[in-house]
Amino acid sequence: MKLPTRRPAWSAHAALIPMGTTVLVAYIAGILWTVRISFTSSKMLPKSDWVGLKQYEVLFASDRWATDMVNVALFGVTFITGAMVLGFLLAVFIDQKVRFEGVFRTLYLFSYSLSFVATGVIWQWMFNPTLGIQQSLRSWGWENARFDWITSQDMAIYCVVIAVLWHSAGLVMAILLAGLRGVDEEIAKAAQIEGIPRWRYYLSIVLPQMGASLGTCLVLLAVAVIKVFDAVVAMTNGGPGDATDVPTKFIMDNLFERQNIGLASAASTTMLITVLIIIAPLMYARSRSEKNA
Amino acid sequence: MNTFSKPLLTALLVGVGLCSDAFAQKAEVIHWWTSGGESAAIKQFADAYNKAGGQWVDNAIAGGDNARAAALNRIAGGNPPTAAQFNTSKQYHELIEAGLLSDLDNVAAKGNWDQWMPTPIKNVIKVKGRYYAVPVNIHSFAWFWYSKAVLNKAGVAEPKTEAEFWTALDKIKASGQVAFAQSGTMGYERGTFSAVLLHMGGRDLYNSIYEKRDVNAIKSPAFKTVLEKFKKLHAYTDAGMPTRTWNDTTALLVTDRAGFQIVGDWAKGEFINANKVAGKDFGCFQGWGPKAPYMVSGDVFVLPKSSNKDVIKAQELLASVVTSPAAQVAFNNKKGAIPIRPDVEASSMDICAQAGVAALKDPARQTPDPSMLVPPDVFGAVGDVITKFWNTDMKPEDAQNRLVAALVSK
């Protein structure tokens, strides 16, 4: 389809100038500056020397950075899968024309109104074996109850996943519910008459029609994965050891406490490139699915 | 311009001039003392400064990192505060190198700083023969604290030697109580490690590791033993340790649910807030024996360079007020720290602070905190190794190799 050629709307363009300037000055210039700093020996204050890829060598030799990348990948895969599945199931549940639909919708979305810091602290208490779920179970009589994931090197990262999942599943539900409501009801009736089971109806008929909402959710969740920081700091502060440490925490530590902005900039640049590699195909797919819709 | 008459304009300008004169000693101070006890302490400085003819403008920012970042941004952006808090460490050394801080040689000469300033502090505020920071208090990370009730229940007295300390831990554990309370955050795991290194490995080894950063010392069997002793403490901790903050950890001692904790003397505030008395409900010791080393750290104010005469005057007044004996005692009694001056009256302090003042009088006992010896990025890398060693089954030899990488090859 070809749009009819129009004269450009000058007023609209003028209105975009403040935002455009912000993007250019704050974001693009900021990114370029960060990339430049990553090639310097800057510690506390920015310097303008040139040390080539030295900061990147230090970064990739760092045991902690390697752990961080593995952690964020583990976190990303489990969190996105979990949030999509849970959000979809919640949306389907509400789509069954349940009574008090509004109440359920609010309930599910409620956790999203909390900050990550509050979420992290609450779940830290819940997971803490000496005062949370384990302690409650024991005081109710299950003396051998054991739920100490947060103290374990292997399981602590999943505690963070659960907390963030609890926080974000409601949002996925809301977006997918809007998508579900966009599906023609006649199709549901037709499927019912044909005697197609409900699960089959949702899986094979509804899901393929929801590309745009699924894409939106995916992008939002992926962004949440990349910038996960406050929940980790509030919940585990990266511990025990570096079991829940994430790249953003590495960057913030080096930027401030460790006064090593050269290394922090190299880490940020590496993150940016990683994000571009992962997000770009997603954005492309989404823009295509929107065009087709 | 035509609408203003010349006399009116002159009057306005004079008025502005007068105003700035009247507020000549205005001092904006960025600091991170925001908790109850801390604000009460900083108020002592503010009052003393106002009484001396200045005007204190308080700019409290919660969290050391945030406050330092704010100060840095202001300094780099050309709109510096009159003074900013840093730790007595290498945190502000790059600012000195970049020529961004005022030197305090006038005030230091007048106040005879060379005479009485403890050496570890002098070494970290005096660079190339000039003073660049005003120390305001002395803290120490390497204190051992204990709950008297827990020790009594286990039938042990305050350990007077390292061997007695380990026996005490065993007995407390055998009595079914938590013997050793540890915070699960990296900085406090590293703090415990440094204290174990100093008090169980000895001052020489401590200096070889942190000051000389000597590869042979890091790889030595003596240091391996230190790592093993540090790790041995893990067996005496409780399941709630990972991710627990230092103050929640101190709360275990305050409520008599754990025996020992190694933490800085800022923990004393937790005991005092719960109406616990030093020497009666809880005890403290800094290593064993009358010659035990005393680890020194604390806070300073740095004074960003300015060409404005009023600002310089305000900075000099501030520096002399906060180091004066009266303000030092008033501030530090509220803060729970000890004064930077050895020549102050110690009788109004509790027994832990008194022990600190006594230890500080002996130069042979003064030992600098690791953060005074290594720059922040290296200290952070050490912490990464220590927290991994503490929380995983990493072998001591492996930790030694990683510490060489963290301390030496940067």
- HSE value, Cβ hemisphere, 13 Å, CA-based, for B225: 11
Answer yes or no: do B152 and B110 share one domain.
no
CB contact under 8 Å between A129 and B240, yes or no, is: yes
Q: Is residue B1 part of a domain?
A: no
Residue A4 is predicted with a pLDDT of 57
Name the helix (H) or strand (E) containing A240: none
B130-131/B126-127 β-pairing: antiparallel
Within 8 A by CB and 6+ apart from B373, the residues are B90, B210, B211
Q: How far apart are CA B135 and CA B296, in angstroms?
A: 12
DSSP state letter for B242: B
The pLDDT tens digits of the residues spanning B240-283 come to: 898 888 989 999 999 999 999 999 988 888 898 889 999 999 99
Q: Measuring CA to CA, how many Å separate A51 from each of B104, B311, B407? A: 35, 38, 21
Of A130, A241, A253, the CB nearest to B387: A241
CA of residue B65 relative to chain centroid, distance: 14
Answer yes or no: do B96 and B68 share one domain.
yes
The pLDDT tens digits of the residues spanning B277-313 come to: 999 999 999 999 889 999 999 999 999 999 899 999 9
The pLDDT tens digits of the residues spanning B87-138 come to: 999 999 999 999 999 999 999 999 999 999 999 999 999 999 999 999 999 9
Answer yes or no: do B271 and B148 share one domain.
yes
Q: Are B392 and A63 in contact (CB under 8 A)?
A: no
Contact list, B69 vs chain A (CB under 8 Å): 256
Answer yes or no: do B334 and B233 share one domain.
no
Q: How far apart are CA B72 and CA B100, in angstroms?
A: 10
Q: How far apart are CA B194 and CA B294, in angstroms?
A: 12
Structure tokens at B355: 């022990």
Answer yes or no: do B183 and B281 share one domain.
yes
CB of A243 within 8 Å of a chain B CB? The answer is yes
SS3 (DSSP) at B87 = strand
CA of residue B84 relative to chain centroid, distance: 15
Residue A290 is predicted with a pLDDT of 67
Among the ranges given (A47-56, A127-136, B90-99, B319-328), the one the predictor scored with the smallest mean pLDDT: A127-136
A284 confidence band (pLDDT: 50, 70, 90): confident
Residue B156 has pLDDT above 70, yes or no: yes
Answer yes or no: do B168 and B52 share one domain.
no
Q: What average pLDDT score do residues A53-79 get?
A: 95
Residue B10 has pLDDT above 60, yes or no: no
Measured in residues, chain B has a length of: 410
CB contact under 8 Å between B240 and A156, yes or no, is: no
Residue A6 is predicted with a pLDDT of 62
Q: Is residue B280 part of a domain?
A: yes
Q: Are B318 and B45 in contact (CB under 8 A)?
A: no
CB of A148 within 8 Å of a chain B CB? The answer is yes
Burial environment of residue A63 by CB neighbours within 10 A (0 to 12, 13 to 18, 19 or more): middle
Give buried/exposed letters for B124-147 (b at 16+ CB in 10 A, else e): bbbbeeebbbbbbbbbbbbbbbbb
The residue with greater pLDDT, B144 or A23, is: B144
Residue A293 has pLDDT above 90, yes or no: no
Answer yes or no: do B287 and B305 share one domain.
no
The residue with greater pLDDT, B311 or B20, is: B311
Backbone angles phi, psi at B179, to 5 degrees: -80, -40
Single-letter code of the amino acid located at A173: M
Answer yes or no: do B48 and B96 share one domain.
yes
CB contact under 8 Å between B184 and A254, yes or no, is: no
Q: What average pLDDT score do residues B332-347 get?
A: 85
Q: What average pLDDT score do residues A79-83 get?
A: 96
Q: Measuring CA to CA, how many Å separate A56 from each of A156, A287, A290, B1, B381? A: 28, 34, 38, 58, 16
Q: Measuring CA to CA, how many Å separate B52 from each of A127, A212, B22? A: 53, 68, 14
Structure tokens at B235: 């067996």
Q: How far apart are CA B136 and CA B152, in angstroms?
A: 37
CB of B409 within 8 Å of a chain A CB? The answer is no
Residue B158 has pLDDT above 50, yes or no: yes
CB contact under 8 Å between A63 and B65, yes or no, is: no
Its domain, for residue B100, covers: 6-138+298-362
Residue B206 has pLDDT above 90, yes or no: yes
Residue A223 has pLDDT above 80, yes or no: yes
Average per-residue pLDDT in chain B? 90
Q: How far apart are CA B182 and CA B390, in angstroms?
A: 11
Q: What average pLDDT score do residues B60-78 get?
A: 90
Q: Where are the alpha helices (DSSP H) in B182-308?
A: 186-201, 203-210, 215-218, 221-232, 246-254, 268-273
Among the ranges given (A75-84, B67-76, B206-215), the one the predictor scored with the smallest mean pLDDT: B67-76
Q: How far apart are CA B401 and CA B405, in angstroms?
A: 7
ipTM value of the model? 0.85
Angle between helix B186-201 and helix B376-391 axes, rounded to 10 deg: 90
The pLDDT tens digits of the residues spanning A90-147 come to: 999 998 888 888 888 888 888 999 999 999 999 999 998 888 899 889 989 888 888 8
Q: Is residue B204 part of a domain?
A: yes
Of A130, A153, A156, the CB nearest to B239: A130
Answer yes or no: do B199 and B74 share one domain.
no
The answer as to CATH 3.40.50.1100 being correct for domain A62-259 is no
Answer yes or no: do B152 and B280 share one domain.
yes
Q: How far apart are CA B64 and CA B189, in angstroms?
A: 18
Q: Are B242 and A239 in contact (CB under 8 A)?
A: yes
Residue B19 has pLDDT above 60, yes or no: no
CB of A154 within 8 Å of a chain B CB? The answer is no
Angle between helix B396-407 and helix B221-232 axes, rounded to 10 deg: 110
**pTM assigned to the model:** 0.88
Answer yes or no: do B390 and B354 share one domain.
no
Residue A292 is predicted with a pLDDT of 65
Chain B residue nearest residue A129, CA to CA: B240
Q: How far apart are CA A277 and CA A215, in angstroms?
A: 16
CB of A239 within 8 Å of a chain B CB? The answer is yes
Q: What average pLDDT score do residues B330-337 get?
A: 87
CB of A70 within 8 Å of a chain B CB? The answer is no
Interface of B with A in 325-384 (CB under 8 A): 375-377, 379-380, 384
The pLDDT tens digits of the residues spanning B344-365 come to: 888 888 899 999 999 988 999 9
CB of B240 within 8 Å of a chain A CB? The answer is yes
Q: Measuring CA to CA, how many Å separate A254 from each of A39, A51, A193, A249? A: 15, 18, 62, 8
Q: How far apart are CA B410 and CA B288, in angstroms?
A: 34
Residue A7 is predicted with a pLDDT of 65
CB contact under 8 Å between B391 and A239, yes or no, is: yes
Chain B residue nearest residue A244, CA to CA: B243
Contact list, B94 vs chain A (CB under 8 Å): 43-45, 259
User: Hey, CA dihedral for A241, A245, A251, A252, is it positive or negative?
Assistant: negative
CB contact under 8 Å between B65 and A256, yes or no, is: yes
Q: What percent of chain B has pLDDT over 70?
A: 94
Q: What average pLDDT score do residues B155-184 get?
A: 96
What is the distance in angstroms between the Cα of B387 and the nearest Cα belonging to chain A? 5
Interface of B with A in 20-39 (CB under 8 A): none
Q: How far apart are CA B71 and CA A235, in angstroms?
A: 28
Within 8 A by CB and 6+ apart from B376, the residues are A44, A257, A258, A259, A260, B89, B90, B91
Residue A239 is predicted with a pLDDT of 82
Q: Is residue B32 part of a domain?
A: yes
Q: Are A160 and A231 in contact (CB under 8 A)?
A: yes
Q: What is the residue extent of each domain of chain A? A: 62-259
CB atoms closer than 10 angstroms to residue B217: 19
Name the helix (H) or strand (E) containing A163: helix A156-181
Residue B343 is predicted with a pLDDT of 82
Answer yes or no: do B227 and B112 share one domain.
no
Residue listed under structure tokens 């809301």? A174
Alpha-carbon torsion angle A176, A179, A181, A185, nearest 10: -120
Q: What average pLDDT score do residues A228-248 get?
A: 92
Residue B403 is predicted with a pLDDT of 96
Nearest residue to B107 via CA among B247, B312, B395, B249: B312
Q: Would residue A189 be called left, alpha or beta, if left means φ above 0 and alpha means ψ between -120 and 50 degrees?
A: alpha
Structure tokens at B196: 């174990």
Residue A5 is predicted with a pLDDT of 59
CB of B63 within 8 Å of a chain A CB? The answer is no
Residue A1 has pLDDT above 70, yes or no: no
Q: How far apart are CA B104 and CA A191, in angstroms?
A: 84
The strand pairing partners of B261, in sequence order, are B145
**Number of domains, chain B:** 2
